[in-house]
Amino acid sequence: AINIASLGGQVRLIGLIGDDEPGRTLENLLTKHNVTCKFEHLQGFPTITKLRIISRQQQLLRMDFENGFPEFAGERLLKIYKQHLNWANVIILSDYLKGTLNNVKNLIELAQQSGSIVLVDPKQQNFTTYQGANLITPNLVELEAVVGKCPDDSTLFHQGMRLIEEHQLGALLVTRGEKGMSLLQPNKKPTHLPTHAREVYDVTGAGDTVISVLAIGLASGLSLIQATQLSNIAAGIVVGKLGTATVSLEELEHAVCEQWTPNKGLVTESALLSLAKAAKNQGETLVFTNGCFDILHAGHVAYLQDASRLGDRLIVAINTDKTVRDLKGPERPINPLKQRSAVLAALACVDWV
């Protein structure tokens, strides 16, 4: 929920907590992070609490304090769910086998009737429970517990497609740790995405990041493949942080620019604006200069090298052929715009032209 809120999404969180101090602390923290809480407070049930023991930036131990809600009937929670169905574009059902989603099949059916997209993070081995969901996001271990070992992409594809057909799923997204993730859809080739993690400090919450970024991507109008690519990049960011972490909009924008936009060279105006914004968000200093650069000589190169030392990124704007003629006469330029741009972009001291 906080992942979605940190990316600018509106999110309402429905669930069960105890009528105790941990429950009140949880609700206050979520509210501070712009999450609207719609909790049912249960008497006699403690709020589920997880304690992580960390030493020298390494998680040594996790202690869970819980009883779950095994006999929870869910009538009031179902009423809250129905009240907010028409508000949501996308619904995430995160099933941790604690009892909150004992009737998850009914929740999926109600969401379908309202026209909402349903994403499920599954924990049950009986995937019939999730029948009709638009997408489920098991990790590889969870998938193999249902279909058996998947030692290669081919086995994963065939077993995954069998699940999709049997349970009428819209798609299956399998997170595979250091192997990235695989998206399977009916009547389409599989999409295998490599991991974008540079360094892995802590994988806690990576799956939650994947499904939350998927949700906000789909709610914003992205295609499923585009939203999956975005969630893969986001997961690569959070595993580089210690503890349960979120990804910010600025971090995601910067990572997307690195992934999908050239780091150097010729760029369009819109790409330059995105790159410049991302650079500023990272605290980088931008240096801008312009000129005709018709016949590039050593003086030009020295000037540009000096300019690049003034900051972190050097942007060079170049005059069009028409403005060069206006400035230098009808016989100029000697080198047309395309050639002048290519020469400038090849210089090591120039970031973007």
What pTM, to 2 d.p., does this model score? 0.72
Sole residue written with tokens 């099949």: 105
∠ CA 225-5-255, nearest 5°, is 50
List, for residues 149-179, the tens digit of each pLDDT value: 999 889 999 999 999 999 999 999 999 887 8
Sole residue written with tokens 């992942």: 3
Neighbours of 77 (CB within 10 A): 23
Residue 248: predicted pLDDT? 82
* Residue scoring higher pLDDT (297 or 203): 297
Mean pLDDT calculated for residue range 91-107: 85
List, for residues 15-50, the tens digit of each pLDDT value: 888 889 999 999 999 999 999 999 988 888 888 888
What is the rounded CA–CA span in Å between residue 135 and residue 100?
A: 20
Q: Which residues are catalytic?
A: 208
222 Cβ contact list (under 8 Å, min separation 6) = 230
* Residue scoring higher pLDDT (180 or 108): 108
Closest by alpha carbon to 216, among 225, 208, 227?
227
* Residue scoring higher pLDDT (140 or 279): 140
Q: Which domains does the chain have, with CATH numbers?
A: 2-260 (3.40.1190.20), 269-345 (3.40.50.620)
DSSP string, 184-215: E-TTS--EEE----SS-S--TTHHHHHHHHHH
